[in-house]
Each structure stands twice: as C-alpha cells, then as structure tokens.
Amino acid sequence: MASAAHPHASTVAFLSRFPVSMPKRPRSPKRCSFTVPSCSSTPPRNKPAIAASAAAAAAAALAASLILLPPAQSLAKGLLSTNTIFRRYLITDSSAILRYSLPIPSERYAKDPIPIRRIQEQLERLGVDLRSRGAAALISGRRDLQKLSDLLSTSRLDVLLDVPAMKRQVAAQSLSALEKCLAAVESEMGVASTPVTSSLFPPQLSAMQQTLSDAFERRNSLSKKTNFDAVLVEQLRQEALRHVYDIEQLAVEGVGLPFKIPRRYNNFPRLVGRASVEIKLRKHGDGQWKDADSVQDVGRDVSLTAILDGFSAPITCANFIDIAQSGYYDNTRILAAQREFFVQLGEREDDNMDGFKDAKSGGRRQIPLEILVDGEPSPTYGATLDEAGIGDLQPVLPVSAFGAMAMVHSVENANDASSQFYMFMLDPNSYQARSFGGSILTGSLSTFGYIERGKEFLKQIEVGDEVVSVRMTSGEENFVESGDK
C-alpha cells in the first residue's frame, strides 16, 4: 500500500471523498465559446478559489501551453453527446464504446451515417428495445429486425466498398455470418428471414406502391408467436455485433491516426491503432477467485484482457504498453480499492523514483492529460475539459463503462501521470454512470481502454492482491517508439 508521503496518495483520498452516486456539477444548457480556458464556469475542483489577477495569469499560461480549440459551436456531436435513453445504455457498454470510437473514413458519405455504423446502431437499439417488458419487447424487436433487414439488403455493397480491396473477401465472410445471426434471431422472434428485394416488384410500380407492398408482405410474415428465448436472442445479437466490429476493424486497418500529435510530444511513444493487453492477477494469502456466479472457486490466478484505444489516446496507450513490456508492473501489489468504484495499481513499492524511469531522460516519465472529445477531430492535451472551458462536452472514452482504465495523476497536476492507473467498476444502472452530466471524474482523467474479458473478477480485487504480469498480446505493429520515426 502506498505510504502517506506518496504523491498520489492524495488522489486516492480525493476519489474516496465522493460517493459512487455523486454526479458532476449541473451543466449549462448552452456551451460557452472557447476563447481562453478562463471561460470555465467554475474553478478547478481540487484547488481553492484564487484572486482574479492570479486566475487571469494562470489562464494565460494555460492558453499558451494548449492547442487552441475551434469554437464550441463548430464541434460535430456524436451519439455520446445526445441526451437520449439510447445513450444511457450505450455509455455503460465498453464494447459499444470501442466500436463507436473506431475512426472509420466517412468522406464518401458527406453528412450521411456510415452504412456499417447504421447497422451497428440498429443492433444496439435492438438490445435496448428487448429490455422492455411483455409484448412491447416483441413488437419493438420485430420492428428493429425489419429495419436491419432493409439496411443489409440496401447497403451491403457500400459496406464492402468501405473496406480495403485486399480485405473485402474477409469482410464478405463476416457480413454473411452477420446475416446468419440475424436470420436466427428473426426465426426466434417470428419474423420472416428472407428480406423483400426490389426484384419482386415490376419496374412500373411507383415508390408508394413498393412501400405498401413491402408493408403488406411484412405484416403477413409475422407469426403468432407471443414470446421468445431472450437469452438466445441476446447471445445471437452479441455475436452479430462481434461480426460488425470485425468489419469495422477491417475498415480502419492501415488508416493510422486521423490527427497529428503535437510536435512537443514527439519524444513519447504512441499507439497508432488498437492493442490487446493481458493482466494476470493472483489472490494474496490463501484467497481464491470466484466465477461469474460467485459460486465456484477458479483458483488463485486469473487473467484480464484489456483493449487499448490508440485512436483516441495514442500517447497514454503507448506509455502503458511501454511500461508493461519493460516488466515494471510485474509482481506489484494493488495499492487501493474501493468496492464498486475503482481499483488503483501500477507502482513498485521499492521504487524511489515514484513512477516509471524513462530510459532516454533517466528521470521520472510524466505524460500529459489526453482526452478526445466526442465530435472533435483531435485530443485536447494538458488540461481537464473544465479547465479548457468545454466541460459540458463528452469524452469519446468515458469512465462510466464498467472496466474503464484511466491514468492516475495527482490532485495538483493533471500532467504528472506516470505508471499508476485505475480500473473503474461503476454500476451500469447507477445515476453516475448513465447521467448525461457525467460523474465528478468526467473530463478529468485520461481513459485509454477497457477490460473486455475477466470483468467478473474486478469487484473481487482487494488491496494486497498481486499483479503477476502485464503484457501486450496483439497490436505490436501499431506501437511506435516516438514521433520522430
């Protein structure tokens, strides 16, 4: 456990002061235009209010160190920025966030949604609608499936064209597997699995006649089923979403970062894509990990798999990988844990440098705060979103999803993160996780990935448990030593 003199011990105390359900400050219904960071409506939360002259000087210094943002009105909103019921479910699903954060090239479609994204969104909406009770779930689910059938029949060619030519055969296989999953769902829910195609209609029929005929065929195709196997449908939906993710990954393969990292950070490594990391944990003493149902013991050793998103946080992800590959995290201990809130780890107890020692400089490596705002083409560096005057905007990688990973920085300096990191475990049904305003942590931490496998073990982690090792398992080709290469 970190000692009281540990610079980041104050961070643990800072997080512990806030209950899990504490929301962020009420957000203004209108965003202020960005001129200098002093337009933030509140002073930094972790510092006392200061005199006006000192505040102006601090704002001027901060403005000199930041990349100036365009006016807030010019930012293009995404799904994460819409205050809807659909977003409340999306924001707590790490897999959905990782799908939506892929920078699929969209030049071909102007302002129209990318076809594969429309399919993905409809599949996500199907999951939300199936949460309804009784007949409402069946009716809404059938409607969603009919829309999916239309999307697949009309946008198949566009989906394949969005994938590089060398990968289109693989994408076609994933698309066929996706269609088989949906056909199984349609069969279970009583919807005809064969989509209505334009070849069924004579060319002389008008668009209105086609629409009426289409509706008539669909109405007749519905069976009299009044229930369905919800577990089976959800499994098939998740499998379909995995095929969608495979296609989206093919679409961004070789694209690289859609923005340029500032030159002043050229000495830092960066991750120009996605990577997977395996985190091996061991229970202290005679403790045993439990399975997902908390019934059976599964042994003292378990593994977590994390997906790191270099498209949204290239410097933060690469820093984590660089430290992990060096073996720095091996045989370290869990530093702090608050049940159903966070776990803090990533520091060697015998390390007098208080963080990872950079091989080039010989000193403690410190990385800047790095947050990509939803709708913004490049990340904001060096300041929290509140300090930058855009505290009402949403980060692409929020901490609200169960298993979010974010770097630890001190209360006094948002740019002194080194090796320590959090793993968050907010209740997906809590107000803090679903609120549009976000939690007290929204826009204050560099989130860089999510635990995708082994989530059932997160709530079982205790202070004193051991981190056996942390290693990158895929994505080596996306790791770049520095910006000079």
- Of the candidates 188, 180, 193, 195, the one whose C-alpha atom is nearest the C-alpha of residue 150 is 195
Give every CB contact of residue 207 below 8 A, 6+ residues apart in sequence: none
Structure tokens that stand for 197 in this block: 């195609």
Contact 466, 331 (CB under 8 A): yes
Helix (H, G, I), strand (E, B) or coil at 85: helix
- Residue 179's alpha-carbon distances to 119, 198, 246, in angstroms, are 11, 18, 14
Calpha distance 93→91 (Å, rounded) = 6
Tokens representing residue 381 in the block:
């560096």
In terms of Cα–Cα distance, which of 153, 240, 142, 229 is closest to 192? 142
Nearest 5 degrees, angle CA 345-CA 351-CA 354? 70
pTM above 0.85, yes or no: no
Domain boundaries, the chain: 9-41+263-480, 104-252
Report the alpha-carbon distance of residue 247 to residue 144 in Å, rounded: 21
CA dist., res. 140 & res. 126, Å (int)? 8
Structure tokens at 176: 């066929």
- Give per-residue pLDDT as tens, 326-355: 999 999 999 999 988 999 999 987 766 578
Domain 9-41+263-480: CATH superfamily, name plus number: Cyclophilin-like (2.40.100.10)
pLDDT for 11 equals: 54
Q: CATH number for the 104-252 domain, one of 3.30.300.30, 1.20.120.290, 1.20.120.1200, 2.120.10.80? A: 1.20.120.290
Helix (H) or strand (E) holding 472: strand 466-474
- What is the spatial distance between Cα 338 and Cα 20, in angstroms, rounded to a whole number? 10
Q: Report the range out of 26-35, 78-87, 165-174, 251-260 with the highest average pLDDT.
A: 165-174
Enumerate the H helices of 101-205 as residue ranges.
115-129, 135-161, 168-189
Average model confidence (pLDDT) across the chain: 79
**Run of H or E residues at 251:** helix 230-252
Instruction: For tokens 């990191």, name the residue.
Output: 421
pLDDT digits (tens, 9 = 90+) for 262-288: 999 999 999 999 999 999 999 998 899
Task: Check pLDDT > 60 for residue 31.
Answer: no
Nearest to residue 463, comparing CAs of 353, 354, 355, 342? 342
What sign has the CA pseudo-torsion 139, 141, 142, 143?
Answer: positive
Please give the backbone phi and psi of residue 407, each rounded to the nearest 5 degrees, phi first. -75, 150
Least confident of 139-148, 197-206, 246-255, 409-418: 197-206
Token digits of residue 399: 């901490």
- The most distant pair of C-alpha atoms in the chain lies apart, rounded to whole Å, by 81
